[in-house]
Amino acid sequence: MDVQEAVSQSTPVGAAEEAKRDGLRKFTMGPNDSLEGKLTYEGHVTVDGRAEGEFRVTGNIDVASGAKVKAFLEASNVTIRGEVEGALNARDKLILGKNAKLSGDIHVRRLQIEDGASLNGHVRMGDFEQQGSGG
């Protein structure tokens, strides 16, 4: 039963870390961390560094102020305070913080844009339909 805890504790101090929160795992990247590639993750992801690729998570994605992301993002809720370039699917809500910069087409159920944020791209709002993995 303690296998996952042992795995979580084996990550080096200062590296990207994983912890449990609200019953879901949480993966956090620090300001000096970078990630390139494809991430499929059951839990929440916080990016506070550089990330590039494709990120599909069951929980939420938070892009911190100062973070730079060039990727396709898919999550329940997405909060952006940094810079994101790429398409985005938020199954529930997208929040653009006051200094957020988003460049890419988005599909969201709900959208909240704070004064000072920028969004360049096409916006599609509404419920999501399961149509296979067409991509």
Q: What one-character-per-residue DSSP string does 35-97 give?
A: EEEEEEESEEEEESSEEEEEEEESSEEEE-TT-EEEEEEEEEEEEESSEEES-EEEEEEEEE-
Domain ranges of the chain: 15-125
Give the single-character DSSP code of 127. -
Instruction: Please report the pLDDT score of residue 134 as a whole number.
Output: 44
3-state secondary structure of 128: coil
Q: Which residue has the higher pLDDT, 23 or 19?
A: 23
pLDDT at residue 127, rounded to an integer: 80
Tell me the two tokens of residue 90.
């938020």
Structure-model confidence comparison of residues 1 and 121, the more confident one: 121
Give me the mean pLDDT over the 49-57 stretch: 96
Q: What is the mean pLDDT of residues 56-80?
A: 97
Average pLDDT of the segment spanning 17-35: 79
- Whether the predicted pLDDT of 7 surpasses 90: no
0.85 surpassed by pTM: no
